[in-house]
């Protein structure tokens, strides 16, 4: 794989991968003074060296620093952009003192528009920006040593959830594994809790992993372990050089959601949470039924053969009665975590070879923020001044439209390859303040690199090579598609809202011209989805080759640099709303797009009913949906369902105290998840999930007053509200009834 890697020569691009080609760097840590400890892995051997570190900030005018009585060095930058000076300090403490002085004398904060200073608050990020180094160069993903961690806990009788602050609760199992095939179980039947924690620390240091992985490891495993370790006075010296694990509250934005979590950091190592990776994956895929470990493992088909399953409410019983089964269950958890991380973290791993961040921080930083760092790194390297971020403003979006609702057969999908990036390059819609032309250079190279990486997938001789090049092309695709978003990024130093507006306007014009051409050539246009069109081709075009030639004719009408491809062929399509549709491929598999058709706000029985109903529609059997409704109703009335069919899982978006205050002041309505959380004994935080079901015997009940936690449901005495759920089924049926007889 190394030979092929050199052949496509991605890493020779210094703007993308940094000017320093030092290989095998696995971690960089600030030593607390004026040095950086840089760790290297080559095979099983890990070494480190101390590199000099000069913290810095940017200033608009050096006069702002002259009134400070500390020591600093100044570098005047070339060009006429806003931040003309780079100020270097002796150590990180001096930088904090200067920042405090600047905030006091200017009245601005680093986030203030027009602030005369610009500061990056991560010393590792600063060091990588200055040196041009990045992590993992010369290292395939398999060279990384990854350790997986999972715990099982005992919940005191009478409580719904484990709580590390309760004296009678405890850790019962610690499961560990690593990417080299090692597995290790620490059982509470053999050791007391203090001994378990001490053994865990010893094993982690013995295996010396570069990465520690877990599923919900931030908000559960490490949080629980940290609390219990404090109780037993066990130092969590799991960092390299026996450094103590550190933590602090943090927040992460994933699409429209903000997740609060406790961020843990182990010196010289990275911590990866597959729970967060799954949510990031699902932003675009939108095909995960839940973010639970078992559901994700089944989705990716990586559940171990003969996998042991134990219901959460039975964990205590198995520990007391069948501890060996609990050990098997916990070991299967870490095996699944390792397999899921291998699938979901590789793209971020290769991004870490590009961006000046740690692996852990590459995962949680937004794409626009990461792209901004490439500009800053290159401008520092060129000793050039950088602009201040422009004042943010709104700009027009892409073109989406729907021309027909219902079922249609024989669908083609034509797609403009990287529509917005292509427009930016073809029409020179580039940031006006990028005087070094980094934007266009990077974008051109990324497009070229992605094509080469895709070619390498086809000639790769091993599964590992295929996974490598696929992860690489996925990384390049993510970056390519993020360049347009960067134009409208409020905190981007080279963003340009005027150009962002021009890009979307040109995109709308191009798509509309394509629609006109298709209609003029006897096509039936169904739906526009930003950069592609779903349509029914003319009757005389039947064969794939004819379809490709037809698309080529449309592509020839587009400006140079804008390329069209036949991106999909489908047996049928159910067009429901804008950006909400279902496709049936020629293998009779459905592809569901849009939150209106696979919303997690729906219970599982609604999603399943809707999928079966739409499948019947796509097969031209809409009249059979009534029978389907009767089947579901009968199963519901006779309590034939497991609770997973009707429980609802919701995430808390705010603290319980904030919720209570808002309800009290009539600023929001009461909600079941919050009411149940308030009544429980668990210290719920924003981002936590609550599973519950509705009780009672009337469909008009107030849900927040008539609900129970999912764990309280008893299959021998089912008390779910049948009438409530029957009404939901009927409403769903009525919602789609207009399409049932659609020919």
CATH number at residue 715: 1.10.132.60
251 phi-psi bin (left φ>0, alpha ψ -120 to 50, beta other): beta
Do residues 702 and 638 both lie within one domain?
A: yes
The predicted model gives 317-334 an average pLDDT of 97
Instruction: Tell me which of 362, 381, 400 is where a domain ends.
Output: 381
Contact 228, 193 (CB under 8 A): yes
Do residues 116 and 184 both lie within one domain?
A: no
Is the residue at 435 inside a domain?
no
Contacts of 699 (CB under 8 A, 6+ apart): 721, 723, 724, 726, 727
Is the residue at 103 inside a domain?
yes
Q: How far apart are CA 456 and CA 468, in angstroms?
A: 10
Examine the pLDDT at 106 and tell me if it is beyond 70: yes
The per-residue pLDDT of the chain, averaged, comes to 92
Do residues 127 and 227 both lie within one domain?
A: no
Q: How far apart are CA 277 and CA 357, in angstroms?
A: 17
Write out the DSSP string of 602-613.
Answer: S-HHHHHHHHHH
Is the residue at 555 inside a domain?
no
Per the structure, the count of domains in the chain is 3
Model confidence at 685, in pLDDT bands (50, 70, 90)?
A: low
Is the residue at 572 inside a domain?
no
Do residues 129 and 188 both lie within one domain?
A: no
pLDDT tens digit string along 550-607?
999 999 999 999 999 999 999 999 999 998 999 999 999 998 888 788 776 789 999 9
Do residues 225 and 99 both lie within one domain?
A: no
Q: How far apart are CA 213 and CA 27, in angstroms?
A: 16
Element of type H or E holding 572: strand 564-577
Do residues 47 and 196 both lie within one domain?
A: no
Contact 27, 269 (CB under 8 A): yes
Q: How far apart are CA 82 and CA 683, in angstroms?
A: 47
Read off the CATH number of the domain in which 59 is found: 3.30.342
Name the pairing type of β-strands 170-178 and 146-154.
antiparallel
Model confidence at 663, in pLDDT bands (50, 70, 90)?
A: very high
pLDDT tens digit string along 594-609?
878 877 678 999 999 9
Instruction: Tell me which of 365, 381, 397 is where a domain ends.
Output: 381
Do residues 95 and 184 both lie within one domain?
A: no
Is the residue at 14 inside a domain?
yes
Do residues 91 and 151 both lie within one domain?
A: no
Give the structural domain span for 25.
2-136+374-381
Going from the C-alpha of 327 to that of each of 292, 463, 527, the distances in angstroms are 19, 31, 52
Contact 496, 484 (CB under 8 A): no
Do residues 41 and 117 both lie within one domain?
A: yes
What do you get for the CA distance between the two ends of the chain, in Å?
Answer: 54
256-288 burial: b if 16+ Cβ within 10 Å, else e = eeebbbbbbbbbbbbbbbbbbbbbbbbeeeeeb
Is the residue at 289 inside a domain?
yes
pLDDT for 463: 83
Is the residue at 233 inside a domain?
yes
Instruction: Tell me which of 335, 350, 365 is where a domain ends.
Output: 350
Do residues 11 and 92 both lie within one domain?
A: yes
Which one, of 17, 370, 24, lies nearest residue 8 by Cα?
17
pLDDT for 4: 41
pTM (two decimals): 0.87
Do residues 106 and 222 both lie within one domain?
A: no
Strands, E assignment, 71-132: 72-76, 85-89, 117-118
Helix (H), strand (E), coil (C) string for 226-271: HHHHHHHCCCCCCCHHHCCCEEEEEEEEECCEEEEEEEEECCCCEE
Q: Please, what is the angle between helix 604-618 and helix 625-637, to 10°?
A: 160
Is the residue at 29 inside a domain?
yes
Which one, of 178, 485, 213, 182, lies nearest residue 348 by Cα?
213
pLDDT for 743: 41
Q: How far apart are CA 544 and CA 521, in angstroms?
A: 18
Helices (H), ranges, 571-624: 604-618
Looking up tokens 């089964």, which residue turns up? 325
Read off the CATH number of the domain in which 318 is found: 3.30.420.10
Do residues 177 and 272 both lie within one domain?
A: yes
């Amino acid at each position: 794989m190394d030979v092929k890697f050199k052949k496509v020569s991605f890493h020779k691009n210094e703007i993308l991968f940094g000017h320093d080609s030092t290989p095998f760097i696995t971690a960089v840590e600030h030593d607390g003074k004026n040095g950086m400890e840089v760790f290297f892995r080559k095979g099983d051997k890990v070494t480190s060296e101390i590199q000099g570190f000069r913290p810095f900030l940017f200033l608009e005018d050096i006069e702002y620093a002259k009134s400070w009585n500390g020591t600093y060095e100044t570098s005047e930058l070339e060009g006429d952009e806003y931040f003309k000076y780079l100020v270097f300090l002796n150590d990180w403490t001096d930088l904090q003192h200067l920042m405090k002085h600047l905030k006091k004398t200017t009245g601005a904060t680093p986030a203030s528009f027009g602030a005369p200073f610009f500061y990056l608050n991560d010393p590792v990020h600063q060091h990588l920006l200055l040196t041009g180094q990045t992590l993992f160069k010369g290292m395939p993903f398999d060279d990384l040593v990854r350790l997986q961690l999972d715990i099982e806990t005992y919940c005191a009788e009478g409580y719904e959830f484990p709580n590390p602050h309760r004296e009678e609760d405890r850790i019962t199992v610690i499961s560990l594994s690593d990417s080299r095939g090692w597995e290790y179980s620490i059982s509470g039947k053999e050791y007391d809790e203090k001994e378990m924690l001490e053994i865990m620390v010893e094993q982690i240091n013995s295996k010396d992993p570069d990465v520690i992985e877990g599923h919900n490891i931030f908000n559960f495993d490490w949080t629980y372990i940290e609390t219990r370790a404090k109780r037993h006075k066990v130092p969590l010296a799991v960092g390299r050089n026996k450094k103590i694990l550190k933590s602090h509250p943090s927040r992460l934005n994933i699409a429209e959601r903000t997740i609060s979590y406790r961020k843990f950091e182990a010196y010289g190592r990275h911590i990866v949470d597959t729970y967060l990776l799954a949510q990031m994956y699902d932003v675009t895929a939108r095909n995960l039924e839940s973010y639970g470990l078992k559901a994700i493992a089944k989705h990716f088909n990586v559940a171990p053969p003969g996998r042991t399953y134990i219901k959460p409410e039975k964990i205590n019983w198995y520990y007391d009665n069948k501890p060996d089964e609990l050990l098997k269950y916990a070991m299967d958890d870490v095996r699944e975590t390792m397999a899921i991380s291998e699938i979901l973290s590789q793209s971020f791993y290769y991004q870490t070879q590009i961006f000046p961040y740690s692996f852990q921080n590459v995962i949680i930083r937004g794409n626009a923020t990461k792209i901004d760092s490439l500009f800053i790194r290159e401008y520092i390297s060129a000793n050039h001044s950088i602009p201040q971020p422009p004042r943010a403003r709104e700009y027009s979006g892409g073109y989406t439209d729907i021309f027909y609702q219902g079922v249609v057969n024989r669908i083609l999908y034509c797609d403009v390859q990287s529509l917005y990036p292509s427009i930016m390059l073809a029409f020179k819609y580039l940031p006006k303040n990028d005087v070094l032309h980094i934007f266009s250079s990077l974008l051109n190279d990324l497009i070229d690199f992605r094509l080469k990486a895709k070619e390498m997938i086809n000639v790769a001789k091993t599964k590992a090579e295929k996974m490598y090049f696929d992860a690489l092309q996925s990384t390049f695709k993510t970056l390519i598609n993020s360049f347009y978003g960067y134009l409208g990024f409020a905190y981007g130093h080279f963003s340009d809202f005027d150009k962002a507006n021009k890009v979307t306007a040109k995109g709308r014009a191009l798509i509309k011209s394509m629609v006109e051409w298709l209609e003029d050539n006897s096509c039936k246009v169904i739906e526009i989805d930003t950069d592609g069109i779903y349509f029914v081709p003319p009757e005389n075009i039947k064969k794939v080759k004819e379809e490709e030639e037809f698309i080529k004719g449309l592509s020839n009408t587009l400006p140079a640099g804008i390329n069209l491809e036949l991106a999909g062929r489908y047996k049928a399509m159910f067009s429901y709303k804008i950006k909400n549709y279902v496709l049936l491929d020629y293998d009779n598999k459905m592809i569901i797009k849009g939150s209106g058709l696979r919303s997690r706000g729906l219970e599982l029985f609604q999603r399943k009913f809707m999928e079966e109903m739409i499948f019947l529609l796509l097969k031209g059997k809409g009249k059979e949906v009534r029978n389907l409704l009767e089947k579901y109703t009968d199963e519901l009335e006779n309590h034939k369902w497991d609770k997973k069919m009707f429980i609802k899982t919701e995430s808390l978006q705010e603290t319980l105290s904030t919720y209570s205050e808002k309800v009290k002041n009539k600023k929001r309505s009461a909600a079941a998840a919050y009411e149940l959380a308030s009544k429980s004994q668990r210290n719920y935080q924003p981002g936590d999930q609550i599973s519950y079901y509705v009780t009672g015997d009337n469909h008009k009940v107030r849900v927040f007053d008539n609900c129970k936690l999912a764990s309280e449901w008893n299959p021998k005495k089912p008390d779910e509200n049948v009438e409530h759920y029957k009404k939901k089924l009927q409403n769903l049926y009525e919602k789609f009834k207009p399409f049932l007889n659609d020919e």
